[in-house]
Structure 1
Amino acid sequence: MTRRARACRRLLGVFAIAAVHTAAADAADDAFVTYKSLTPEVALEAAQAAMKTCRDRGYQIAVAVVDRSGQPQVLLRDRFAGLPAPDTATRKAYTALSFRASTADLARSIRDGRMDAALARLPNVAMLGG
């Protein structure tokens, strides 16, 4: 093999290694995602605003704010809200997130036959208006 052929072969080897490392770096970049998340302060402010609106309308409620994975970030229960209110609020927030729709709209869709009623029986789902 000539000297030039060996140099060419080494250069091709370097390019092949560089291509593999570049592909691995691209794959690593695709392996991670970036997203925005509410701060606890903003989540608390949203929950307090919802509670105030309901109080002003004469309702004693619980309100939950969940993060993008459905985990509760804030849960507030008004002093006279019923015993199941915190659980229901958390399940409603999880449901709205999971189906990307208000729970009142989902309940209407089931009632009108546009959505399978079996979906309402999934764990942690609460398709209720209000």
Structure 2
Amino acid sequence: MAAVLSRHAIADGVVAQKNLSLGLAKAIAEATLAACKEKGYSTAAAVVDRAGQVMVILRDEQASAQTADMARRKAYTARMFRTTSLEFQKRTLDPKYAAQRDVADILALGGGVPIMIGNEAIGGVGSSGSTQEQDDACAKAGVAKVADQLK
């Protein structure tokens, strides 16, 4: 019986996860930045992994300094709440959810998009430096650029 428990314990102790590669994170960030640049905006893009840790931050040479941190926080928000930061902003207008805005590093502004494989959030991308709606569209374009690799 001990052998059965031991094998069971080992199986329960190992968790397999899908994670972003650095190359994929860079491709998403570059596509996000390019989508905004194409519209005439100088922005920053950030990609975080499934734990919310930064993998890539890119800032256009014409973007202001705070855009990099705002992009990071939008990416983090999208990853942690598994929804766009624009949807998070709308949801937290409800007083029942408003306190979620007080969590460290959360930013309830449009421009953050979760990076999903099926129903599993494996990261987030954030864009900052244009309008909230345009930042949202740029982040979505970044994810769309690699959609075939997220299956």
1:108 aligns with 2:90: yes
1:30 aligns with 2:24: no
**Which amino acid in the other structure matches residue 54 of structure 1?**
C
1:20 aligns with 2:2: yes
Runs (4+) of structure 1 exceeding 4 A deviation are none
CA deviations 1:71-122 (Å, max 9, x no partner) are: 01111111111211111111111110000000011111223x2752221121
- The equivalent of 2:58 in structure 1 is 76
**1:62/1:81 contact within 8 Å kept:** yes
Note the aligned Cα RMSD (angstroms): 1.3
Output the TM-score relative to the length of structure 1.
0.80
1:126 to 100, 103, 107: 107
Output the TM-score relative to the length of structure 2.
0.69
Partner Cα separation in structure 2 for residue 56 and residue 115 of structure 1 = 39
1:94 aligns with 2:80: no
Q: Secondary structure at the match of 1:51?
A: helix
Partner Cα separation in structure 1 for residue 96 and residue 62 of structure 2 = 34
**Which amino acid in the other structure matches residue 81 of structure 1?**
A
**Could you list the runs of 5+ residues in structure 1 that have no partner in the other structure?**
1-18
What's the CA shift for 1:41?
Answer: 0.9
Partner Cα separation in structure 2 for residue 118 and residue 80 of structure 1 = 34
Q: Which has the higher helix share?
A: 1
**1:109/1:115 contact within 8 Å kept:** no
CA deviations 1:28-78 (Å, max 9, x no partner) are: 111110111121111101110010001111211111111101101111111
Q: Which has the higher strand share?
A: 2
- The equivalent of 2:140 in structure 1 is none
**Which amino acid in the other structure matches residue 57 of structure 1?**
K
Identity %: 34
Q: How many residues align?
A: 111
2:25 to 22, 26, 43: 43
Q: Secondary structure at the match of 2:56?
A: strand
**Could you list the runs of 5+ residues in structure 2 that have no partner in the other structure?**
111-131, 133-151
